[in-house]
């Protein structure tokens, strides 16, 4: 028995229990004040694990000099040929998609991966230390694409798929995209986070109002199916891979997204969940073949 780990887990559960109790009380007595605490959590990016914990057997490639809103990010390049971008999800890091580097390079592609601001090895961005927002993840995709030139393909996981969808809606020029466990529906995200922290409807409503008032972030701007309707260019060919046992983001979200993305194909898996689907050999093979066919 690891006493240190056990003690840490107990402390974490106690803290979570206290936080949930606070949100339940705040929902009844002071939803506007409670929404401030919810808003702080909305932007929070948990610290990345140490590099040894992030390592999935892929050594960093050539370091690239890329900035997002004037601030540098960690970005790397491998191989030569048509470029494929790897985009991690919220609170993620590039190594989570490292399994795609070798097969894509072997297929004759250049692969570029990066850590969004305040994620992985990248320093803080415009939201400050340990904070970020979906617009910043979208800006990171745009900055990398602009830096590397023509982009052939893009692989995105979880919330990275929302950022990529927003970039596509605004004209990102890319031939093919593969989204794995895409988290693209704001209502699903609010339901997941709110359910885990016991946010009530008054707190959520006040939080959304505060995000609009204080940061100019409108909920409608993150309605991905609606926002995709703004694209006046042909859509990239798209493959959405989603596991039926994903407890982080409902698989139905991929079906909704496909309904707004002409020609998109959805592939459902089972028994892999939200993260193992990213690394499963059949998925890696299917995504690689889709991007290189």
Q: What is the CATH number of the domain that holds 160?
A: 3.40.50.1820
Residue located via tokens 């390079």: 105
List, for residues 57-70, the tens digit of each pLDDT value.
788 899 999 999 99
pLDDT of residue 16: 61
As for how many domains the chain has, the answer is 1
Residue 5 reports pLDDT greater than 70? no
> For residue 208, what are the domain limits?
3-292
List, for residues 224-244, the tens digit of each pLDDT value.
999 999 898 999 999 999 999
| Distance, CA of 184 to CA of 98 (rounded, Å) | 22
- Looking at the chain, the whole-number percentage of residues with pLDDT higher than 90 is 65
Max mean pLDDT range (8-17, 32-41, 150-159): 150-159
pTM of the model: 0.91
List, for residues 171-223, the tens digit of each pLDDT value.
999 999 999 999 999 888 888 888 888 888 898 898 899 889 888 888 888 89
**Hey, which bits of 106-257 come out as E strands?**
110-114, 151-157, 174-180, 237-243
pLDDT of residue 4: 39
What is the 8-class DSSP label of residue 245? Answer: T
């Amino acid at each position: 028995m690891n006493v240190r780990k056990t003690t840490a887990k107990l402390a974490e559960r106690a803290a979570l229990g206290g936080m949930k109790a606070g949100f339940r009380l705040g929902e009844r007595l002071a939803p506007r004040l409670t929404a401030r605490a919810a808003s702080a959590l909305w932007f929070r990016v948990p610290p990345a694990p140490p590099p040894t914990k992030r390592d999935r057997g892929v050594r960093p490639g050539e370091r690239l000099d890329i900035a997002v809103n004037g601030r540098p990010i960690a970005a790397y390049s491998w191989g030569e040929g048509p470029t494929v971008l790897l985009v991690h999800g919220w609170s993620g890091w590039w190594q989570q998609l490292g399994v795609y580097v070798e097969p894509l390079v072997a297929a004759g592609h250049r692969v570029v991966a990066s850590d969004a601001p305040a994620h992985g090895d990248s320093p803080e961005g415009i939201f400050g230390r340990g904070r970020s927002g979906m617009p910043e993840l979208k800006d990171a995709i745009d900055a990398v694409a602009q830096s590397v030139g023509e982009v052939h393909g893009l692989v995105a996981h979880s919330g990275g798929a929302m950022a990529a969808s927003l970039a596509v809606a605004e004209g990102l020029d890319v031939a093919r995209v593969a989204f794995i466990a895409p988290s693209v529906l704001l209502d699903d995200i609010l339901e997941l986070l709110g359910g885990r922290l016991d946010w009530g409807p008054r707190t959520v409503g006040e939080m959304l109002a505060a995000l609009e008032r204080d940061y100019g972030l409108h909920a409608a701007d993150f309605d991905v199916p609606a926002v995709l309707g703004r694209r006046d260019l042909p859509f990239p060919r798209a493959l959405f891979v989603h596991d039926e046992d994903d407890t982080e983001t409902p698989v139905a979200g991929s079906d909704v997204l496909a309904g707004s993305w002409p020609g998109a194909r959805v592939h459902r898996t089972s028994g892999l969940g939200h993260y193992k689907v990213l690394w499963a050999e059949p998925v890696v093979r299917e995504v690689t073949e889709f991007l290189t066919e």
